[in-house]
């Protein structure tokens, strides 16, 4: 009998209003049922929004450093429970235990960072153009934030959103991915155990319709979403019509450039981690490797050998380097790109099929795959595959490599390996992406830095760092006239 879990609304753990449920299973061991979760509908979302609205009245008025104290306690509890939460995350969504511990650590770092920022929610003071008048700006919270997240970072990404949101005085309605509901529940349980006031964070489990109910609800003042570009576009349309603030973090087709002078050992380590870490299921995953022609053949040969040696398996077992794809739909999508590659004349240099071996037949395992002979406009060089699949392209110069890197609708992360400091600084300016790594892979964001992309990857906002507080706060301008007479600003200055 599967364990049943509940929503958390207004301080109460409760079933969906209509008692509908869905089942969550281990993608590495399909017979391992994680549990049964509420399939929430509009009534559940409405109850969560009303609870968040009620809590907002008092939460927004709490001194910001006191809100930071709650975040500090949450960070402490996450530290205590890191291994236990990470184990369940791996069981639920498949990436290795080492990676899920890093996922929780990122949440810990974000908790402490957001707690410290509650003492730095700065406004500005500026001179007035009139005598005996004082000008300043202050930050005010937005209201109820709808947080809708993906499954691949089921603790780190929700906390990127929720911690700064509540630090700034907002309240939250949170819907985790239906592929990682248990991780979302474990995170919210930490909030409860830390004593976060009732209604500040509310959990509604469910699928796409649940997320749509959040986006459409008139009581939700802003939406923060991580997921596909297609879904993000639909959310943006709704928020545009309903005048909601919206932050979108979407797809990527991230390039790693390796020039002729690069440290090839370092570049190989980087691309193996960037392309096959999290089984390639990251928005920042390295999906295009752009090699200077002088080192192309050498690095490709080494890459094929190294990729073939990666150990696949259940991520809670020692020594495993690559876990499963998240579900059958993802497996079918990645498999379909093998036919696309063949139709485009691409060589599948390694991988390209279901992984076989002891224990692998119980999950959605796909071999680490390398495509060679790829040209810039092929589908495999343009479309986000979201799996352990790497397309290798050849360039004859730095300029051509950058042109290939920029030849995509996405612009999230990027990387270049070179020992030439002049080229490195040119790349920082030339590559069209929200993130550029020099001599590092396309993955590895830090909690105190802004995170996000350009073009179809995002809509201009950033997660993380100091910039995220711009999304979760409204700026209010304040004028204090102590002249004792009517002053008319520009009219008085003619």
Verify whether residue 249 is a known catalytic residue: yes
Give CA separation, 96 vs 30, 177, 363, in Å: 17, 19, 14
DSSP H or E segment with residue 341: helix 328-343
Handedness of CA 415, 227, 111, 64 (dihedral sign): positive
Backbone phi, psi, residue 248, to 5°: -120, 130
Active site residue 283: yes
Question: What token pair was written down for 275?
Answer: 């392309």
User: Can you count the helices (H) and strands (E) in the chain?
Assistant: 15, 21
Q: Retrieve residue 343's tokens.
A: 């139709």
Distance CA 304, CA 351 (A): 9
Distance CA 379, CA 375 (A): 9
- Name the active-site residue from 239, 283, 350, 384: 283
Q: Report the Cα 362 to chain-centroid distance in Å.
A: 28
104 close to 74: Cβ distance less than 8 angstroms:
no
Supply φ then ψ for residue 26, to 5 degrees: -75, 120
Q: Please give the radius of gyration of the chain, using alpha carbons only, rounded to the nearest integer.
A: 24
Active-site residue identified among 249, 367, 384, 463 = 249
- Give the catalytic positions in this structure: 249, 283
């Amino acid at each position: 009998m599967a364990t049943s879990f509940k929503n958390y609304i207004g301080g109460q753990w409760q079933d969906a209003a209509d008692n509908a449920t869905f089942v969550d299973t281990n993608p590495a061991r399909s017979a391992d049922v994680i549990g049964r979760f509420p399939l929430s509908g509009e009534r559940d979302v409405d109850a969560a929004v009303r609870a968040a609205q009620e809590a907002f009245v008092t939460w927004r008025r709490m001194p910001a450093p006191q809100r930071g104290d709650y975040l500090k306690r949450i960070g402490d509890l996450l530290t205590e429970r890191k291994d236990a939460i990470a184990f369940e995350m791996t069981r639920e969504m498949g990436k290795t235990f080492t990676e899920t511990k890093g996922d929780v650590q990122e949440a810990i770092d974000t908790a402490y960072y957001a707690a410290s920022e509650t003492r730095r929610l700065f406004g500005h003071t500026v001179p007035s153009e009139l005598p005996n008048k004082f000008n300043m700006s202050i930050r005010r919270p937005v209201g109820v934030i709808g947080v809708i997240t993906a499954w691949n970072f089921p603790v780190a990404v929700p906390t990127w959103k929720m911690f700064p949101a509540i630090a700034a005085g907002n309240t939250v309605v949170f819907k985790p991915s239906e592929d990682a509901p248990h991780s979302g529940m474990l995170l919210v349980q930490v909030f409860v155990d830390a004593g976060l006031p009732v209604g500040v964070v509310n959990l509604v489990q469910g699928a796409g319709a649940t997320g749509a109910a959040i986006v459409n609800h008139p009581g939700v003042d802003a939406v923060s979403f991580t997921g596909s570009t297609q879904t993000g576009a639909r959310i943006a349309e709704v928020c545009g019509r309903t005048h909601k603030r919206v932050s979108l973090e979407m797809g990527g087709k991230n390039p790693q450039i390796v020039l002729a002078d690069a440290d090839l050992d370092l570049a190989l380590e980087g691309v193996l981690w960037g392309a096959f870490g999290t089984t390639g299921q990251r928005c920042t995953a390295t999906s295009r490797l752009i090699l200077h022609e002088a080192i192309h053949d050498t690095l490709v040969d080494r890459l094929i050998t190294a990729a073939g040696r990666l150990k696949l398996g259940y991520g809670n077992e020692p020594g495993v380097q690559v876990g499963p794809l998240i579900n059958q739909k993802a497996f079918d999508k990645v498999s379909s790109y093998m036919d696309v590659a063949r139709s485009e004349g691409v060589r599948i240099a390694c991988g390209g099929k279901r992984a076989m071996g002891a224990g692998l037949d119980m999950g959605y395992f796909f071999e680490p795959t390398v495509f060679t002979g790829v040209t810039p406009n092929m589908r495999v060089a343009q479309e986000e595959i979201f799996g352990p699949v790497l397309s290798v392209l050849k360039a004859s110069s730095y300029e051509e490599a950058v042109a290939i890197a920029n030849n995509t609708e996405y612009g999230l992360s990027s990387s270049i390996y070179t020992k030439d400091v002049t080229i490195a600084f040119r790349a920082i300016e030339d590559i069209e992406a929200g993130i550029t790594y020099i001599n590092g892979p396309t993955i590895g964001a830090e909690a105190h830095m802004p995170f996000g992309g350009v073009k179809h990857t995002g809509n201009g906002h950033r997660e993380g760092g100091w910039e995220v507080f711009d999304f979760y706060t409204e700026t209010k301008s304040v004028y204090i006239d102590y002249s004792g007479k009517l002053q008319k600003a520009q009219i008085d200055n003619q």
